[in-house]
């Protein structure tokens, strides 16, 4: 396993990050694995040298964090892995049970630490973007969380490039903790962050830890006409909302052809493409089987030719702009 710095920080993370959205409870999503089924996947990731794990308070209403607390924090030396979580999505029905107020963020980090069985996370991040957020309060609060020792670093998930620039400038003026990382959706069929977000991150050395490198499983098999259904593809409204365009099917067909030539899976080609892009620190992949972990690690050794990269790029059809940065 290769290890790289997380942006400008000196902490080292594996070139792949295991995302824990798939660990939790079937009452949240029917394809999610319970604690017993999650354990061998986490163990396999550790065996491969993966030291970077990402979760969120919102996943299975905290159950994902609880599982990582027991199976990762409870079984391995705390300094041997890099643990990341996120906040911002609704965790209660009242108006202050979400978002980026000082009130909610301090409550969210305390609740997450309790579930994770640790006194700190290595990376505490915003989750969904909220356009009416006061950026100064967000930056000051995240800095205070670092000062309190509850997080070592702070980062963000999908937000417009200008807001990230404003946040980092404000943190510098305050001599406070800057956001060191950006999670953005990025794969061969979803490349909108290339417009402004990625160029800014590359310029200022903000770590790029993209999520959905296989498009939530859409790119893993031919999904046209309902082919190759899984529990997730049958129930994931997000995937149907953002993928299933003609251009997305064209990208998947190219990936499948390249995979056949290499004797690997389309998922591995999608992940290898993402890893090959400029500035990629550690793509976040999800796994619901040991095989998924093995395949992801195998993609690190998959080298795509310039011709193959051009094939993939030529199939891509851009999406319309929206204010979230995508």
H or E element that contains 182 = strand 179-183
Name, in order, each residue with C-beta under 8 angstroms of 275's C-beta and a sequence gap of 6 or more: 15, 283, 299, 300
DSSP-derived 3-state class of residue 289: coil
Q: Are 30 and 234 in contact (CB under 8 A)?
A: no
DSSP-derived 3-state class of residue 272: helix
The half-sphere exposure of 314 on its side-chain side, counting CA atoms within 13 A, is: 8
H or E element that contains 244 = none
Q: Which residues are known catalytic residues?
A: 59
Q: What is the DSSP string of 134-147?
A: -HHHHHHHHHHHHH
DSSP-derived 3-state class of residue 187: strand
CA nearest 52: which of 10, 3, 99? Answer: 3
Q: Are 113 and 119 in contact (CB under 8 A)?
A: yes
Q: What is the CA radius of gyration of the chain?
A: 19
CA nearest 271: which of 17, 3, 97? Answer: 17
């Amino acid at each position: 396993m290769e290890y790289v710095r997380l942006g400008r920080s000196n902490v080292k993370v594996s070139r792949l990050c295991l995302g824990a959205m798939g660990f939790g409870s079937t009452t949240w999503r029917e394809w999610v694995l319970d604690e017993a089924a999650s354990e061998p996947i986490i163990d396999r990731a550790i065996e491969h040298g993966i030291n970077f794990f990402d979760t969120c308070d919102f996943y299975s209403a905290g159950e994902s964090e609880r599982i990582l607390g027991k199976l990762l924090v409870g079984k391995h030396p705390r300094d041997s892995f890099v643990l990341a979580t996120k906040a911002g999505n609704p965790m209660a029905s009242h108006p202050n049970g979400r978002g980026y107020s000082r009130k909610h963020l301090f409550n969210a980090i305390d609740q997450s630490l309790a579930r994770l069985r640790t006194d700190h996370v290595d990376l505490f991040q915003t989750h969904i973007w909220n356009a009416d957020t006061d950026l100064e309060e967000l930056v000051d609060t995240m800095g205070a969380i670092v000062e309190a020792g509850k997080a070592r670093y702070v980062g963000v998930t999908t937000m417009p490039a200008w807001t990230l620039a404003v946040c980092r400038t404000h943190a510098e003026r305050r001599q406070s903790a800057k956001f060191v990382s950006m999670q953005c959706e990025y794969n061969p069929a979803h490349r909108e962050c290339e417009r402004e977000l990625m160029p800014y991150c590359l310029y200022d050395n903000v770590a790029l830890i993209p999520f959905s490198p296989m498009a939530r499983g859409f790119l893993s098999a031919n999904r046209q006409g309902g082919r190759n259904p899984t529990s997730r593809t049958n129930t994931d409204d997000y995937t149907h909302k953002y993928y299933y365009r003609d251009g997305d099917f064209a990208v998947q067909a190219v990936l499948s052809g390249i995979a056949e030539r290499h004797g690997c899976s389309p998922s591995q080609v999608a992940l290898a493409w993402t890893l090959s892009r400029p500035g990629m620190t550690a793509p976040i992949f999800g796994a619901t089987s040991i095989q998924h972990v093995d395949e992801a690690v195998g993609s690190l050794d998959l080298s795509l030719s310039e011709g193959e990269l051009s094939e993939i790029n030529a199939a891509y059809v851009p999406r319309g702009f929206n204010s979230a940065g995508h």
